[in-house]
Structure 1
Amino acid sequence: MSTEPNAAVADAPQTATPDSADASSSVVIETRNLSKIYRDFWGRKKVHALKSLDIEVRPGEIFGLLGPNGSGKSTTIKLILGLLFPTSGRVLVFDQDASETSKNERIGYLPEESYLYKFLTADETLDFYGRLFDLSASERRDRVSQLIEMVGLQGAKHRQLKEYSKGMTRRVGLAQALINDPDLILLDEPTTGLDPIGTREMKDLILGLRDQGKTVLLCSHQLADVQDVCDRVAILHQGELKELGRVSDLLKVQDVTEVHATGLSDAAKTEIADVIARHGGTVQSIDNPTATMEDLFLNIVRESEARPGARRVSQGSDAASANDGSSDSDGGQA
């Protein structure tokens, strides 16, 4: 079993002055010129995992660490938890040095792989983690019941975890990360191995945490996950911070104007294109918008559950065209 959320080496925190406390009250996590070098047995530099990282995570936001494998995301999380010591620079969490273990009482952590006892039930698993945080029996009972309901496992709470699917196991892992009602939740690749439905459910749970006023740091290499749930994002590559900002700002194409309208005839579209041309613009495309593959998949599943046996056929598909043609043919024969 992993005890990573509590496995930190104590170090006396610096006393904050009133001015510095006020200035940092709007920051939950702050990294200052943070660097980490992994060395081999002989002390020779093996990997420069993190290079002079400067980020701030604010209260009540979902902050994404995005990057390919090996970009330094998991190293950053371990430094925040105090599981690793920085080679240089500093990490502050709740105005305390990351090596101060008392901060972990306010942190929940979901690692990329949840190390849970497979012979325990969900109830027993959460009760066990509640004991690690010295919760009373009544507190554990209430908290376990709330979390089981929140992650949607009421019908399976008495089954052993070895009978759980990957998605169910991840939901138990999220519940154990929340057993101490933390102010800050660190999620390392929370949707790893989940199917589209499980991924959507996990993202909805993460959004629900923000609605509760929690601060979430989400580490992922899945672009859709970060785009769907994060308020701000830091993009890492080979240990370096490449981009930082709000997701909406980073994705916005500044030199392209997008107009959405319904009920336009072909003549109206032509007229609009002529107006744009008269004003020196260039019409790149006039077409119907497209949904994401995730939206399409989830809509099909929901419709299938609502109407078992019915086949969903899009209006523009070859099947629909064939059906229209056969109807016309039948009409001609009649």
Structure 2
Amino acid sequence: MEHSDSILKTAGLRKTFKVGFWGRSVTALEGLDLDVRQGEVFGFLGPNGAGKTTTIKMLMGLIYPTSGQAWLFGRPIGDQESKARLGFLPESPYFYDYLTGLEFLQFYGHLFGLRGVALGKRIDELLELVGMSHARHLQLRKFSKGMLQRVGIAQALINDPELVVLDEPMSGLDPVGRKEIRDLILRLKESGKTIFFSSHILHDAELLCDRVAIILKGRQVACGRVSELIDEGVAHSVEVVIDGLGPEELARLRQMADRVIVQGSQVLVVLPSRQQVGSVLELIRGARATLVSLTPQKGSLEDLFIREVKNKQPELREAV
């Protein structure tokens, strides 16, 4: 393995399915290379249908890859000792909704061999961690979507795992629920856990992740630290506010700007990149206008994602 602190790693992971009466082969995942390191929050990003859940099912040993390899804690996936060191919350899980929060966690604790005082103490710790102590005696059928996600994460932590795998943990939640899950993931990182989660919600991933991988239609198109991917792959726009421009200069400005908004005597200009700033400043000096403000705009993970989608569309269409 490339890094001694690698916890999860894949090399050329590929999965195909047979569909339809004639057994047509469909590729769900093609040549995935991941390297998740100890103590980080790693985001596995892509639109719905990109292959995220298929990948996670392979990592959990629920389905087998067609080709390629994957390791957990340096051992091949499926190794029982490795499985005991991870926790998992699938997307849209079904829980026995007649159980209370307490009974639900007791059930999963028993599966890991926990009993008596040790189990009771662990459940108390987890309910406190996920902010669900008040609902310990409430049936799951009365839980909100956000409450179910939080108690689901508590279930994934019952065995005190080193690696926590979450499939779309923020899907379907309102803004308050998403923030609660984000805060919980950050607390898990602070406690030394490694978090691997899939998502199509890019804003949440940008706030949480140390590194991300982006996949489109089963193909990995980017992987690395969030800040580095944005710096390398996204042009940083610039907002400029100018006062006192004449019609001629305004017309020239429209040719070099992404957007020009006239507000009384002032003009708000959005430049596509920092390369245009020198030309705009020269135009301002020539027109004897006033530069009110110049504000660089930071690119986002969403900007990077949209760029990758646009760049890869022809290639992806050919692959289908």
Same fold by TM-score greater than 0.5: yes
CA contact (8 A) 2:12 2:33 kept: yes
CA contact (8 A) 2:39 2:192 kept: yes
How far is 1:287 from its partner?
A: 6.7
CA contact (8 A) 1:40 1:46 kept: yes
**Counterpart residue type for residue 85 of structure 2:** R
Q: Indicate whether 1:36 and 2:3 are aligned.
A: no
Per-residue CA deviations over 1:79-114 (Å, capped at 9, x if unaligned) read: 111111110100011011002222111110011112
How far is 1:155 from its partner?
A: 1.4
Q: Which of 278, 281, 299 is 1:280 aligned to? A: 278
Q: Which of 225, 248, 252 is 2:227 aligned to? A: 248
CA distance in 2, matches of 1:101, 1:285: 64
Match of 1:226 in 2: 205
Partner SS, residue 110 of structure 2: helix
Q: Which has the higher strand share?
A: 2
Partner SS, residue 252 of structure 1: helix
Q: Indicate whether 1:97 and 2:76 are aligned.
A: yes
CA distance in 2, matches of 1:282, 1:84: 57
Partner SS, residue 218 of structure 1: strand
How far is 1:286 from its partner?
A: 3.1
**Counterpart residue type for residue 67 of structure 1:** G
CA contact (8 A) 2:9 2:36 kept: yes
Partner SS, residue 233 of structure 1: strand
Residues 175 and 289 (structure 1), Cα distance of their counterparts in 2 relative to 1, 3 Å cut = farther
Partner SS, residue 54 of structure 1: strand
Per-residue CA deviations over 1:287-328 (Å, capped at 9, x if unaligned) read: 7899xxxxxxxxxxxxxxxxxxxxxxxxxxxxxxxxxxxxxx
Match of 2:288 in 1: none
How far is 1:45 from its partner?
A: 3.9
Which aligned pairs between 1:107-118 and structure 2 lie closer than 5 A? Answer: 107-118=86-97
Match of 1:320 in 2: none
Q: Indicate whether 1:159 and 2:160 are aligned.
A: no
**Runs of 5+ consecutive residues of structure 1 not aligned to the other structure:** 1-19, 260-265, 271-275, 291-334
Deviates more, 1:232-241 or 1:136-145: 136-145
Partner SS, residue 50 of structure 2: coil
Deviates more, 1:108-117 or 1:140-149: 108-117
Match of 2:311 in 1: none
Q: Which of 59, 66, 77 is 1:80 aligned to? A: 59
The TM-score with structure 1 as length reference comes to: 0.70
CA contact (8 A) 2:19 2:26 kept: no
Match of 1:64 in 2: 43
Per-residue CA deviations over 1:191-220 (Å, capped at 9, x if unaligned) read: 112111111010000011111111111101
Partner SS, residue 280 of structure 1: helix
Residues 121 and 35 (structure 1), Cα distance of their counterparts in 2 relative to 1, 3 Å cut = same
CA distance in 2, matches of 1:286, 1:49: 49
CA contact (8 A) 2:145 2:173 kept: yes
**Counterpart residue type for residue 92 of structure 2:** E
CA contact (8 A) 2:44 2:213 kept: yes
Paired residues, number:
260
Q: Indicate whether 1:121 and 2:100 are aligned.
A: yes
Match of 1:6 in 2: none
CA contact (8 A) 1:24 1:95 kept: no
CA distance in 2, matches of 1:205, 1:282: 46
Deviates more, 1:42-51 or 1:104-113: 42-51
Residues 40 and 286 (structure 1), Cα distance of their counterparts in 2 relative to 1, 3 Å cut = same
Identity percentage of aligned residues:
44
Residues 234 and 121 (structure 1), Cα distance of their counterparts in 2 relative to 1, 3 Å cut = same
Which aligned pairs between 1:176-325 and structure 2 lie closer than 5 A? Answer: 176-252=155-231, 256=236, 280=278, 282=280, 286=293
The TM-score with structure 2 as length reference comes to: 0.73
How far is 1:35 from its partner?
A: 0.4
CA distance in 2, matches of 1:157, 1:36: 41
CA distance in 1, matches of 2:210, 2:162: 17
